[in-house]
Amino acid sequence: MRFLATASLLLLASCGMPEGGDPDAPRVAPILSTEDARDEQTFAEPEKARVTHIDLDLELNFDDQMVAGSAQLDILADQGIDTVVLDNDGYDVASITDGEGKPLEYQLGEEVEGKGAPLTITMGDAREITIAYSAKEAAALQWLTPEQTADGEHPYLLSQGQAILNRTWIPTQDSPGIRQTWSARITAPEELTVVMSGLSDDKPETVKEGPDGQKKRAFNFAMDKPVAPYLIAIAAGDIVFRELGPRSGVWSEPSMIEEAAAELSDTEEMIDAAEALYGEYRWGRYDMIVLPPAFPYGGMENPVMTFLTPTFIAGDKSNNGLIAHELAHSWSGNLVTNANWTDSWLNEGVTSYFENRIVEEIYGKKRADQEAALAYANIEETLAEVGADAPGTALHIAANPDPLGSAVGGAIIYDKGSFFLRTVESIVGRDRFDAWLQQWFDNHAFQPATSAMLLADMEANLVADEAEAEKLMLREWIYEPGLPANVAKPDPAAFAEVDTAAKAFTDERALDEAAWANWTSAERQRFLAKIPREMNSAELAALDEALKLSASTNNEELFLWLELAMQNRYEAAVPAVEQFLAEVGRRKFVAPLFEALMEQGSWGQGIAKRTYEKTRPSYHAVTRGTVDGLVLG
Ligand code: BES
Ligand code: ZN
């Protein structure tokens, strides 16, 4: 089976891939040529000509909300191939030249909704091309005003590339199966510091004084391991760094650095735990940046620089599963990458499983089991809603660049994906399972993968015999909708006490404030999910009064409370919701709150429309894209 997987690699490359856990990644990664690895979301034809390296030289222009400069691409193509196709979703090309500066012809093809347009370059026998370009209003980039930052004095820039947004500001082949090394020189106003998802040389140079007398600095970055291009990321702002451990640290605005560092103080231990589970951390440093609350996700696994929402900070590390998750992507996702977005579960499901294993190591089995039980309830709830035979509930699904964009996507790609691996683990035993997963990461390091490859790999390297194969139901897990009968259900004891308390509240509105105060965050979230969906204002007021929900410092809990309040037209919570929606741009919180309001007739729709009119400009394109559909229809 290993032979088959290797044979399907198209080595349009000067060097092959070393077997096993060689930490020195080759600079040119192979691409896959099988049908299931084809990426419908790209215009690139990598089997003919592919980008292997990008060198960016860009200036950040905050006044015009624009990046401008050049990208020099290294192209790998057989002799005789004279065109290369890139993805373009809005950046403006000024000129394209070859290595000698000779102009090359190019053509921008017809735009396809949600995908952009092909940029076809006639390169002749040139294999190094330079694109002079600029990108204004790029959907990946969010330009924040000083008012949108914690310290309020300087503007801020952040990017979000996954899944197919980097083609709005980087002229390259934007497909996860076409790995590229990259380097960058970024020029920014002097007061700002730039970070990227590559190692910095830590030597910004003061470069020039503009006509306005403004000084600028240029920062240099390099990623010498081939990565999927959605993982190229940038942030710039008035930020400072705090070391957390020998190879980890955190960036944030000065006023947040203290609480950010405190919340993240387990990071180095998490890296050690992850390595003990599944092998060496191969990226050198693991730094994080805590961004302003406009960031549209909880976290994004940009290599060597995880991007984080500040809303995960609770003061007690109760949301640190997020850190375990983004760290785990350093193996599942960044090292072994879904070849296209129909196999997102290979990134997110495997990562969610790995996340839970790290949480178990760092925070203990009780917490890990509770978090898994929440995930399981999410699968069950989703299947009950959409039907256990809905085709979108298979792990390998038709097309899904945005699994987090819908509740179903999240429950399947993340939670069913992780319960698949939990189930396999429970059948073959932890030792055998862990050995298998580690060899999967090692043998596919810095390469793309598909569901078919993972299935073949399990059959070759894990499954002992026919009898075990029958027990495992691997094919059904990956390709069939619903939840296979062999699923390893979470221990019902995980929430025994909370479920009893939720029943007491449901039956007689009984509340045990002391018990609540002692619960884990997972237990509180379970309680808030289990109590009745319909309540009157007096009941909601009593609930809030007893449990101090409005004052919660955990945003996951605060969000569940505000959502419940809006579902019941609880007037007293409206100012808090308005304030929350004005400050936070994280789609996971923002979209359901608007949805809850829109479901409440003219009462809620009035609030939603008036609020969104004010808050829309402060949201990232990712969040706007979803909320536009909900509120503007
Ligand atoms: N890679 C994802 C974020 C993502 C997924 C962006 C799909 C664009 C398309 C990231 O690792 C993630 O899963 N973030 C989660 C947190 C996690 C703990 C479930 C989030 O942002 O909520
Ligand atoms: Zn993830």
CA distance 347 to 240: 31
What pLDDT shows up at residue 399? 65
For atom 22 of ligand 1, which residue has the closest CA? 298
CA–centroid distance, residue 298 to ligand 1 (Å) = 6
pLDDT at 409: 87
Taking a 5 Å cut-off on Cβ, the residues next to ion ligand 2 are 348, 351
Tokens 């105060």 correspond to what residue? 517
Q: Give the Å distance between the CA of 351 and the centre of ligand 2.
A: 6
Query: Which contiguous run of DSSP H or E holds residue 564?
Result: helix 555-567
Ligand 2 centroid to 63 CA: how many Å? 33
Question: Looking at ligand 1, which atom is closest to the CA of residue 321?
Answer: 18
Ligand 1 contact, 326 CB (< 6 A):
yes
**Does the beta carbon of 263 sit less than 6 angstroms from any atom of ligand 1?**
no
| Ligand 1 atom, smallest distance to 403 CA | 7
3-state secondary structure of 4: helix
| pLDDT of amino acid 270 | 99
Distance of CA 543 to the CA centre of its chain: 34
Q: Considering only CA atoms, which of 8, 57, 58 is closest in space to residue 37?
A: 8
Side-chain-facing half-sphere of 42: CA atoms under 13 Å: 30
Query: What's at 178, amino acid-wise?
Result: I
Give the nearest ligand 1 atom to 309 CA: 21
* Ligand that comes closest to the CA of residue 309: 1
- What one-character-per-residue DSSP string does 102-117 give? -B-EEEE---BTTTBE
Residues 91, 95, 97: CA angle, nearest 5 degrees: 125
What dihedral angle (degrees, nearest 10) is formed by the CA atoms of 485, 486, 488, 492?
A: 40
Ligand 2 centroid, distance to 319 Cα (angstroms): 14
If you take atom 14 of ligand 1, which residue's CA is the nearest one? Answer: 299
Q: What is the DSSP string of 1-28?
A: -HHHHHHTEE--SSS---SS--SS--SS
- The CB of 297 under 6 Å from ligand 1? The reply is yes
Is the beta carbon of 403 within 6 A of some atom in ligand 1? yes
CB atoms closer than 10 angstroms to residue 225: 24
In contact, 486 and 473? CB cutoff 8 Å: yes
CB 588 near ligand 1, within 6 Å: yes
Q: What is the mean pLDDT of each run of 10 residues along the chain (633 residues)?
A: 37 39 67 96 98 98 98 98 98 98 98 96 98 98 98 98 98 98 98 98 85 89 98 99 98 98 99 99 98 98 98 98 99 98 97 98 98 97 95 85 81 97 98 98 98 98 98 98 97 95 97 97 98 98 98 98 98 98 98 98 98 98 97 94
Whether 325 is in the pocket of ligand 1, judged by its Cβ within 6 Å, is yes
Q: Residue written as tokens 């789609």?
A: 587
Burial class (CB in 10 A: 0-12, 13-18, 19+), 362: buried
Residues in the chain: 633
User: Does residue 348 have its Cβ closer than 6 Å to ligand 1?
Assistant: yes
Q: 116 CB under 6 A from ligand 1? A: no
How high is the pLDDT of residue 529? 96
Phi then psi dihedrals of residue 227, to 5 deg:
-125, 160
How many other CB atoms sit within 10 Å of the CB of residue 617?
9
Query: Looking up tokens 């884990």, which residue turns up?
Result: 520
Query: Ligand 1: does its nearest atom lie under 6 Å from the Cβ of 402?
Result: yes
Total H helices, total E strands in the chain: 21, 24
Report the separation in Å between the CA atom of 332 and the middle of ligand 1, taken as the mean of its atom positions: 13
- Ligand closest to 176 (CA) is 1
CB-ligand 1 contact for 322 (6 Å cutoff): yes
Q: Report how far residue 416's alpha carbon sits from residue 392's, in angstroms, rounded to the nearest whole number.
A: 12
Q: Whose CA is nearest to atom 9 of ligand 1?
A: 402
Give the distance (Å) from ligand 2 centre to CA of residue 328: 8
